[in-house]
């Protein structure tokens, strides 16, 4: 997208097991699209392809969302402030902000939790991943279907020391939710259950990882036995625009979807999720997860152990210096826009 704005050639790299809609969309915005072996959790294969391109092509500039602090800073400043505005509207006098739940992904969105914790020091940050690839929970690995969240590594820009809980989501729960919300029989069952048409119109905004985020919120609320006065924030990180083919694949695999299937999915995979595969993080639990960065970023991607230690031991100065960059970056953006005539 940025390359189009700047008139530059671009290359997009992603696992070949991602949805067909994602590839079709990328073809409209990227000059070249490269599929690497594996599925959502095969992030290393993407990095390997990037190193190959660096060695074989000229004038390559790499934007890796897992390590770009602009990603972290944008969500800290923009998403964080937006969430704060929503909380001020929703909480009122009786509401209590409890925490935010976000899937790991590139690590960028997690910065909004850092912002909110600065405003609400007692709040919690819950980070989610796929149970089928429990990297944060158990140092585990595996393939999964929660597209858009990455795995098998800890993003360089994830402020692990500020994370309070790990919540793993079963593929089956997230996939059942999107089928319930998008199959005609599922939607009819929801209408009969009293769901308003206004709410029904919003269901296409919930993609696979968005469903995972909602399930995380349910699990956190159950774990801490929260009440209707407690507020948990999350985001819908994708919409069904990218996943229509996944619903068709489930129909081919499991047969036509009925209202009985919808009732089962709602009560088993939404209302029925429990507090399993979760972990409240102690100081050393956090440090274990932080240390996993070494294997991806120092051994493979050229980062230094000194900077890795700074993220942990020089915590306030390291992350604070990043958060202070926003004003200077905004000045540079304004300067660029004046040069291009976009800003008078």
Q: Are residues 28 and 50 in the same domain?
A: yes
Parallel, antiparallel or unpaired: strands 32-36 and 11-15? parallel
Range of the structural domain that residue 232 is part of: 69-280
- pLDDT tens, residue by residue, 280-310: 999 999 999 999 999 999 999 999 999 999 9
What pLDDT was estimated at residue 181? 95
Number of domains forming the structure of the chain: 2
pLDDT tens-digit profile of 162-172? 999 999 999 99
User: The CATH number of the domain where 241 resides is what?
Assistant: 3.40.50.1100
| pLDDT (0 to 100) of residue 148 | 62
Same domain, 143 and 10: no
Task: Give the model confidence (pLDDT) of 25-50 as tens digits.
Answer: 888 888 899 999 987 778 889 889 99
The span from the first CA to the last CA of the chain, in angstroms, equals 24
Picking from 89, 174, 179, 104, the residue whose alpha carbon sits closest to that of residue 135 is 104
Residue 121 falls within a domain, yes or no? yes
The predicted structure's pLDDT at residue 48: 92
Q: Among 221, 249, 280, give the residue marking a domain's end.
A: 280
Q: Are residues 73 and 42 in the same domain?
A: no
Q: Burial letters for 135-146: b for 16+ Cβ neighbours within 10 Å, e otherwise? A: bbbeebeebbbb
Question: Would strands 230-233 and 96-103 be described as parallel, antiparallel, or unpaired?
Answer: parallel
């Amino acid at each position: 997208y940025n390359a189009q704005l700047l008139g530059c050639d671009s290359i997009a790299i992603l696992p070949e097991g991602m949805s067909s809609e994602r590839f079709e969309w990328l073809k409209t915005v990227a000059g070249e699209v490269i599929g690497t072996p594996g599925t959502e959790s095969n992030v290393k294969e993407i990095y390997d392809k990037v190193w190959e391109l660096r060695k074989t092509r000229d004038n390559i500039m790499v934007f890796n969302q897992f390590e770009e602090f602009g990603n972290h800073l944008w969500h800290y400043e923009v998403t964080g402030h937006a969430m704060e505005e929503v909380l001020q509207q929703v909480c009122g006098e009786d509401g209590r902000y409890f925490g935010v739940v976000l899937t790991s992904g590139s690590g960028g969105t997690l910065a909004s939790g850092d912002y909110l914790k600065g405003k609400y020091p007692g709040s919690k940050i819950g980070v989610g991943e796929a149970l089928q690839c429990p990297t944060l929970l158990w140092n585990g690995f595996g393939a999964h279907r929660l597209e858009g969240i990455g795995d098998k590594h800890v993003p360089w820009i994830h402020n692990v020391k500020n994370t309070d809980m790990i919540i793993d989501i079963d593929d089956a729960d997230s996939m059942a939710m999107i089928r319930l919300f998008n199959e005609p029989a599922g939607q009819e069952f929801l209408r009969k259950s009293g769901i308003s048409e206004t709410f029904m119109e919003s269901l296409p905004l919930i993609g696979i990882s968005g469903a995972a985020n909602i399930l995380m919120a349910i699990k956190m609320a159950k774990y801490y036995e929260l009440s209707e006065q407690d507020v948990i924030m999350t985001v819908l990180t994708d919409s069904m625009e990218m996943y229509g083919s996944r619903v068709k694949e489930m129909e081919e695999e499991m047969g036509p979807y009925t209202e009985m299937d919808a009732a089962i999915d709602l009560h088993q995979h939404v209302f029925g999720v429990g507090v399993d595969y979760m972990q409240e993080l102690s100081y050393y639990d956090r440090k274990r997860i932080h240390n996993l960065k070494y294997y991806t970023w120092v051994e493979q991607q050229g980062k230094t152990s000194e900077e890795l230690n700074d993220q942990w031991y020089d915590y306030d100065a390291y992350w604070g210096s990043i958060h202070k960059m926003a004003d200077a970056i905004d000045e540079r953006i304004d300067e660029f826009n004046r040069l291009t005539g976009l800003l008078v």
